[in-house]
Structure 1
Amino acid sequence: MGRPEVYTLGRLIVDLYANDIGVPMKDVNSFNKYLGGSAGNTAVGLARHGANVGMISRVGKDGHGQFLKETLIREGVNTRMVHEDPNYPTGLAFAAITPPSDSTVLFYRKPCADANIEITDLDREALGKAKILVVACTALAVAPGRDAALEALEYNRSTGGVNVLDIDWRPQFWTNESEASLYYRLALRLADVVIANEPELEFVGGGGDPLEACRNVLAYGPQQVVAKRGGEGVLYVGPEGVRNTPAFKVDVLNTLGAGDAFGAGYTYGLLQSWEVERRLEYACASGAIVVSRHSCAAAMPTNAEVEDLISSKAIK
């Protein structure tokens, strides 16, 4: 494991996914345990592609936290900036899997460790040597996590790094939408690349036409907006102009984690300095593989698996 060239910051939790497929939460009898959380999933995804990746987060001083740190290390993720919180437990998420629709998720995170990342957790020397910082924006929901996220974005920009924002909009994590809008605007002004699904794009860019919403986001200062549109593929707006990339055809089991796989794939493409078309195709294939599997982090594909799917040309 080399020095991290990319860091992810934000949610790191335990996912408990139902083994009973197509069953409502109240009737589920057993769950599988996985590493979860947007930033955690993305870190694992990047590591499996071959990136040198580190993570910035917190876990509880409990068995779940130990499981998460050990899993990250086993996957090749640098955990120097994953700290044990002295006061709060590791967050949990229970999911009822109902293919092909979105699954039902029940979060246990009030309070929890990953929301309490502090500015003092940041190793500026290490962060300053990285090329990219990926922030999952649920880190903005409460202090002190929001302070650490904004500080990391500002510092990374000051040292010449690229800031990638995963909008990761979950209204239930926020006190109200007005507060959320304020902190998202602050983060967008520090962003170079913005990745969002359709509801997230509507939240940060306004309703109506997706292309117009992308351009509204660009007005805050980012150079690229990558809009994930599910079966409709991906809309990209950036220096190269507008691009539309089709989705890959796969059987859908669980949509959870597909966006994180997409983000990991796209960020890996940025690290490799690929052309935009190559980045988008690779990211789409990464997300497609994960929707066909049960978990999030454990489902993240390797570079070889992504290239195999691309070679198959299984486009919708």
Structure 2
Amino acid sequence: MTNPDTPRPYDLLTLGRSSIDLYSANVGRPFEQIEAFNAFVGGCPLNIATGSRRLGLATAILTGIGDDQVGNFIKHFLEQEQILTNWVATIPGTRSSAVVLGIEPPDKFPLVYYRENCADINLNLDHVAAVPFGDFRAAAFSGTAFSKDPSRTAMFFALEQAREHGVTTLLDIDFRADQWFDPRAFGVTIRAALSSFEIVVGTEEEILATFLTDKEQLLIKHQQISAPEIRGNIDTAIQQILAAGVKTLVVKRGKDGASIFQSGKEEMKIPGFPVEVLNVLGAGDAFCAGFSYGLLSGWDLYKSVRMGNACGAIIVTREGCANFMPTYEEVMAFTAGYEGL
């Protein structure tokens, strides 16, 4: 990360998805028996921006919304959270994205995306060019933003701009198989971008997806798009990411916490916080928010990842993602019941 004393007006820019999230109001009920949904907001970059803002960072988001009421819903939430919306583009001829989720704890969370001609995937070079990257200390990208053009090219351009202005670059791998014309294309694209990222964060499955070569390696049960099963050699995949030039790789391991990998160093294991799971969706984004807060506050990697683990543990006990991100005070109260940070 950049020096915490760098005089830049904003801490973190997130780039990519934003959506209205419709979550089952009938927790535990099979999807076909759901009678009502609660309306929240979501999308990996929006969740990270919200979580980071609630912890105390000055955050902004580059995303696209349609000229529709759903877009108004999303932007209103961002403004209420005091997230800078200068680069939330209203894109004519598109629709704001939507997600529908069933909640069947502990291990069934069927997920349906509505992203045909969605606004955020239509972010283009002009949208990126309008962002003053030199005003930010760090930028967090999500893998899904690379899934289609014009967003894909816009993200590569944003990476160039970030590096040119000395902005620390972080990738949340964010593998969503059904957002790619071929799941193997995800790996080809992300591998092309890896050398531009200083920090990469992902689950073991997402790291394996980065090197997916055979569709048979991928299995999705109960339409759990965000939690696939992927066969492969995780140790080899980790070393390949580091060999690409990534300085720090953080592997999220759920209830087991997370691990930090850096070239030439031993794996550093950071314990998690055992909790009873209500909804796993958004846990990884909460992790990135907490992790980013720690690093941009000048904390070391261990404490920053521990902060990420705490935020992820809190969010899995709650109903949704962005709307339920914890504040700094809530995280401190939560960790006080364990061994702290």
Out of 117, 121, 124, the residue aligned to residue 118 of structure 1 is 124
The answer to whether the 8 A contact 1:95-1:105 is kept is yes
Q: How far, CA to CA, are the matches of 2:156 and 2:184 in structure 1?
A: 18
The answer to whether the 8 A contact 2:15-2:140 is kept is yes
The answer to whether the 8 A contact 1:256-1:291 is kept is yes
Matched, 1:312 2:337: yes
Pairwise CA distance, 1:241? 3.9
Out of 6, 11, 16, the residue aligned to residue 10 of structure 1 is 16
TM-score (norm 2): 0.88
For residues 137-193 of structure 1, what are the alpha-carbon distances to aligned partners after superposition, in whole Å with 9 as ceiling and x for unaligned?
100000001111111111101111110000000110001133222211122111110
Query: SS of 1:80's equivalent?
Result: coil
- Between the two proteins, what is the percent identity of the paired residues? 33
Which blocks of at least 5 consecutive residues in structure 2 are unaligned?
1-7, 213-230
Pairwise CA distance, 1:3? 3.4
Task: Kindly tell me the number of residue pairs found equivalent between the two proteins.
Answer: 314
Q: How far, CA to CA, are the matches of 1:141 and 1:51 in structure 2?
A: 28
Q: How far, CA to CA, are the matches of 1:94 and 1:314 in structure 2?
A: 36
Query: SS of 1:292's equivalent?
Result: coil
Structure 1 residues 229-268: aligned runs within 5 Å: 229-238=253-262, 241-268=266-293
The answer to whether the 8 A contact 2:40-2:323 is kept is yes
Out of 28, 31, 44, the residue aligned to residue 25 of structure 1 is 31
RMSD, aligned CA = 1.7
Q: How far, CA to CA, are the matches of 1:309 and 1:214 in structure 2?
A: 31
Q: Show the counterpart of 2:250.
A: 226
Q: How far, CA to CA, are the matches of 1:59 and 1:252 in structure 2?
A: 31
For residues 228-270 of structure 1, what are the alpha-carbon distances to aligned partners after superposition, in whole Å with 9 as ceiling and x for unaligned?
1112211111266421112101111000000000011111112
Task: In structure 1, give the amino acid aligned to 2:245.
Answer: G
Pairwise CA distance, 1:201? 1.2
Matched, 1:81 2:106: no
Q: How far, CA to CA, are the matches of 2:129 and 2:78 in structure 1?
A: 18
For residues 1-49 of structure 1, what are the alpha-carbon distances to aligned partners after superposition, in whole Å with 9 as ceiling and x for unaligned?
x932210001100000000011122111100001111111111001001
Query: SS of 1:135's equivalent?
Result: strand
The answer to whether the 8 A contact 1:205-1:217 is kept is no
Pairwise CA distance, 1:208? 4.7
Task: In structure 2, give the amino acid aligned to 1:222.
Answer: V
TM-score (norm 1): 0.95
Query: SS of 2:139's equivalent?
Result: strand
Q: How far, CA to CA, are the matches of 2:44 and 2:332 in structure 1?
A: 23
The answer to whether the 8 A contact 1:58-1:116 is kept is yes
Task: In structure 2, give the amino acid aligned to 1:221.
Answer: G
Pairwise CA distance, 1:314? 6.6
Query: SS of 2:336's equivalent?
Result: helix
Out of 294, 298, 308, the residue aligned to residue 273 of structure 1 is 298
Task: In structure 1, give the amino acid aligned to 2:78.
Answer: L
